[in-house]
Amino acid sequence: MSKQHLLTPYNKNINLKNRVVMAPMTRSRANNDGNVPTDQLHGLYYEQRASAGLIITEGAQVSEKAVGYIHTPGIHTDAQVEGWKKVTKRVHDKGGTIFIQLWHVGRMSHPDFHNGELPVSASAINPNSKSFTPQGFKDTVTPKEMTIEDIKATVKDFKNAAANAVKAGFDGIELHSSNGYLFQQFFNGTSNKRTDKYGGTDENKTRFFFEVLDAMKQVIPQEKIGVRFNPSLDGIFGMTMDKDTIPTFEYLIKRLNDYNLAYVHLSEPFTDVSDIPYAVTEIAKHFRPLYNGTLMINTAFDQDKGNKIIEDGYADLVAYGKPFISNPDLVERFENNLELAAWDKDTFYTTGAKGYTDYPKATK
């Protein structure tokens, strides 16, 4: 293979040894009373993958109210911060760079996580999906529409989580404003029917997001903040595109030029959206001209496609998800053009080391 753009350093706000990013992936291994990441599992898992230019952790809930999946680690208690300190040390000792993804699932949660209380969202609209509860998958419910007080409290939760990330030794944070979770529930007109200052116009639908971003940059430099979006999400977690969906994301991403962020992380469509007239099928190509900063792209990239999209100038960094699960040495395999190991999807969300830290490195 000719020059591999994926393997070149990147130095614009964020200094990376290569452009291969480990994407954030829920793995459900914090199966303890405090949802605390552990040295023997999380520490080893991320250490094994420290040759990535950047690791973005699984989503870490910013409060008890943010939880929506079993066994996911948080970043809102002292014990969780102490657990993450061991993880970041192991990654740093191997020369790696690691950001933590900050997460609130909104209406994708279930009363089972909240002592019977309803999960919250932009509006009281059931996504008609499934929530992964301690008793297995259950139907989602109609959430509570967030009050102004709820929104203010959640802004504080994200600010506190960002401060905790600094205490835990992370190199930065990623704000999970994607994939049908809380922030996207505000962005999307089919899930946000509010008539106050948080609904209706692009400025209003994105107000909560920018309030959180502005609060977090008070406790962590904005060049250490990344944000993630999924503009053409449709048919997943109750998300339905309408004619205003892409214009809202265009507004968002253009406005982010006023900030000095680490990166904007975009996902190509998860499903076939070619029949939706107002969807965008090539996300990186569409949004690259709108954003002046670092652009990261993900979803279904292999080695060749990753190199090509950087070469073509549509992205600066490429995030890989499932390939990093089964290939802890993904970067080295790219360097040596080695075959990739297959992943076992049956162990994606189970507990313990199997399917998590037991994938071997390649033998040349």
Catalytic residue among 10, 181, 291, 359: 181
* Burial (CB count within 10 angstroms: exposed 0-12, middle 13-18, buried 19+), residue 46: buried
Side chain identity, residue 125: I
H, E, C per residue of 314-353:
CCCEEEECHHHHHCCCHHHHHHCCCCCCCCCHHHCCCCCC
Query: How many Å apart are CA 56 and CA 67, to the nearest integer?
Result: 19
Token representation of residue 60: 């870490």
DSSP E strands in the chain: the ranges are 10-12, 14-16, 20-22, 54-61, 98-103, 120-121, 130-133, 136-139, 144-145, 172-176, 225-229, 263-267, 295-298, 317-320
- Residue 198 appears among annotated catalytic residues: no
Report, as residue numbers or ranges, the catalytic residues.
Answer: 181
